[in-house]
Structures are given as structure tokens and as C-alpha cells.
Amino acid sequence: MIFRYEIILHWSEEDQAFIAEVPELPGCAADGETYQEALQNVKIIMREWIETAKDLGRSIPEPKQRLMSPNI
């Protein structure tokens, strides 16, 4: 499954972990000890988020491709 959603990765001092969030999928986030682990984990969570939404008959947002202006 290929995902085309924006993923925001950042370091959390509070959690002492990297956090990967998918703004277009509410509540979709994962963490990891490394940048790569957080990204790997969020891919799993994205798949589960989409599968759960389908099972519950909920709509799945279309990826916006890019949330930030290219001029930034």
C-alpha cells in the first residue's frame, strides 16, 4: 500500500522519542527511538487507520499532497 499523506516528524523531549504524525488522518501518530523507526511505525498505523475507517464505513480523506506553500 502506497501512502501519499504528509507525515510530520519531530523529536519529543517529553517522550524522549521521535514522533511521526499524519495531520490528514486524525489521531494517526506513532513514535520510535530513531527517525527511521518512527516513520516505519507510522506506516503501520496509517494502514490500520485506513482499514479501520473502511470497516466502520467512515470516509477516508484524500491526500492533499502538500500542506505547506512551495515558497516557504
For residue 39, count CB atoms less than 10 angstroms from its CB and return exposed for 0-12, middle for 13-18, buried for 19 or more. middle
Assess contact for 11 and 18: CB atoms under 8 A: yes
Confidence of residue 64 (pLDDT cuts 50, 70, 90): confident
pLDDT, tens only, 7-62: 999 999 999 999 999 999 999 999 999 999 999 999 999 999 999 999 999 999 99
Percent of the chain with pLDDT over 90: 81
Q: What is the pLDDT of residue 41?
A: 98
Its pTM stands at 0.83
Q: Is 68's pLDDT higher than 70?
A: no
